[in-house]
Amino acid sequence: MAIKGKQPHFILFPLMAQGHMIPIMDIATMLSERGVASTILTTPHNAARFHRRSTQSSSLSNNIHILNIEFPCVEAGLPRGCENLDMLPSSDDVMKFFKAAAMMKDHIEHLLRRLKPSPTCLISDMWFPWTTDLALKLRIPRLVFYGTSCFSLLCMHILGISDDFHAMASDSDYFVVPGLPDRIEVTKAHFKATFDQLTPEWTRMWDELREAEANAFGTVSNSFDELETHYIEGYRKAKGNNVWCIGPVSLCNKEDSDKALMELGLGLEASKKPFIWVIRNASDELQTWLLEEKFRERNNGRGLLIHGWSPQVLILSHRSIGGFLTHCGWNSTLEGITAGVPMMTWPLSAEQFFNERLIVNVIKVGVRVGVEVPAMFLERENDVVKSEEIRRGVEVLMDEGEEGRERRERAREMGEMAKRAVEEGGSSHRNMAALIQDVVVQQSMLADDQENA
């Protein structure tokens, strides 16, 4: 896409968690391919996870920059150096982590005001609602990044405002989500799994998220139009906001070396926990990295490396793969869809139960294991999925009859649609161009309003 005039400069601010950071780096790569400069805001500990990707291609690295911000973990009551969600001592500390992030607001504003070239927009994670006000002060549009499907977002929005749903006494009774083109049934337990704990503090947090989204310029989604057409439009209407679907963003990784996920090793190291990392058929690049970084020595006594592992994206793309057991996190779900393989669904928490409904009931490329209770609610032995249910799920998924063949064909077709979406002329390719253009126009209007004020 040819860009006239000043080069746009996008600021990207992901939640410091692996599943949120990876797609943001992919978005930066996609922007760079279109001549757009981007600066990723992160903390010193997390910066290493971005630097390798940003420097792999000299043609892209000039357009991607990393800006380190000190994370006030100690001031928020967290251990020193606790800069990523996978480093939290306990799930009870999540709110402290969000408070620490909010404490960076003034410092980030100071840095962005001095940044050259000046920012064109801010794409920030949904968990940073305070960045809407920050963007307004800087006179630039803020776009919310959601790391899940529009289907899940729409379901949660509808249920969140449904009095009938909240009046239900039982957590296990099924409820039909109203106003959807497909019959979708969920329980209150599935909905509660997206909220961690429904304390007054969390309730206030969700109110802040909704208000910040309403005042933002729009939403960036790691999805594609053909995957959930009606639900993208439904979410757009429900929220009354712009939605740009530009995924699957992981398809910007055209080389196997990009998929080798050295970030996995860095993430294991960052966890400060004992680990075994199994690596199969390590590439020359990965072996060189392990040696140069002295990874084995750095983690001696805590981490054990065993050669024999391959990364998930590459495994799924192999023609011998007949199915994929997934916890229904959105990144993994998209990887399964992109690979064109049928899935067996085993959701654990968060919005994963809604993603399961998309896989099984909407695009019909999956089979449920039969999980009914979110992992956080497991209290009894009866809640655990039994081996018999797993056996049944595998047999149905791998069925060679008509139903199995149709499921595999739908999965294959969906994978082809995903790839076409990001190719030149595809829906996500066009949406990315529209996103850049819309942001440039909006920022210009905000700048003009400031001059005329």
279 with 253: CB under 8 angstroms? no
User: How big is the CA angle at 23 (ends 372 and 143), to the nearest 5 degrees?
Assistant: 95
The token duo for 377 is 């609610």
- 381 and 438 in a single domain? The answer is no
On whether the CB atoms of residues 435 and 220 are closer than 8 A, the answer is yes
Instruction: Report pLDDT digits (tens) over 378-396.
Output: 444 445 666 677 778 888 8
Q: CA 28, 33, 35, 36: dihedral to nearest 10 degrees? A: -10
At residue 270, the pLDDT reads: 64
Residue 197 has pLDDT above 60, yes or no: no
Q: How many C-beta atoms lie closer than 10 Å to residue 275's C-beta?
A: 15
Domain end marker among 274, 293, 310: 310
Residue 2 lies in a domain: no
**Domains: count for the chain:** 3
Average the pLDDT over each of 184-193, 278-287, 438-447 and give the range with the smallest value: 278-287
What does the angle CA 17 – CA 194 – CA 191 come to, to the nearest 5 degrees? 165
- 364 contact partners, CB below 8 Å, separation of at least 6: 407, 410
> The domain that contains 179 carries what CATH number?
3.40.50.2000
| CA atoms of 30 and 172, how far apart (whole Å) | 42
Would the pLDDT of 2 be above 90?
no
Question: Do residues 207 and 268 share a domain?
Answer: no
Residues 303 and 333 in one domain: no
If asked whether residues 25 and 101 sit together in one domain, one would say: yes
Q: What is the pTM of this model?
A: 0.83
- Give 102-145 pLDDT, tens digit per residue: 999 999 999 999 999 999 999 999 999 999 999 999 999 999 99
Rounded CA gap, 413 and 407, in Å?
Answer: 10
Q: Which are the contacts of 415, defined by CB distance < 8 A and separation ≥ 6?
A: 337, 338, 339, 340, 341
Q: What's the mean pLDDT when you consider all of the chain?
A: 85
Instruction: List pLDDT tens digits, range 68-80.
Output: 999 999 999 999 9
In a domain, 281, yes or no: yes
Distance (Å, whole) CA 337 – CA 222: 13
| SS3 of residue 13 by DSSP | strand
In terms of domains, do 305 and 339 share one? no
Residues 319 and 289 in one domain: no
Same domain as 272, residue 391: no
Q: Read off the pLDDT of residues 269-326 as tens digits, 9 standing for 90 and up.
A: 765 666 666 675 666 667 777 887 788 888 888 777 767 544 566 666 666 567 888 8
Q: Where does residue 170 rank: exposed (0-12), middle (13-18), buried (19+ CB within 10 A)? A: exposed
Question: Count of CB atoms within 10 A of residue 158's CB?
Answer: 18
Q: State both tokens at 444.
A: 């210009």
Same domain as 122, residue 29: yes
Asked if residue 139 is part of any domain, the answer here is yes
With cut-offs at 50, 70 and 90, classify the pLDDT of residue 55.
low
The model's confidence at residue 3, banded by pLDDT at 50, 70 and 90, is low
232/302 same-domain check: no
Residue 397 falls inside a structural domain: yes
First to last CA, the chain: 33
Note whether residue 1 is domain-resident. Answer: no
* Backbone region of residue 5 per phi and psi (left: phi > 0; alpha: psi in -120 to 50; beta: other values): left
Enclosing domain of residue 289: 262-310
**Are both 237 and 280 inside the same structural domain?**
no
For residue 364, being part of any structural domain is answered with yes
Tell whether 3 is covered by a domain: no
Q: Are residues 289 and 429 in the same domain?
A: no
Does residue 40 lie within any of the structural domains? yes
Task: Report the Cα 148 to chain-centroid distance in Å.
Answer: 6
28 and 171 together in one domain: yes
| pLDDT score for 388 | 75
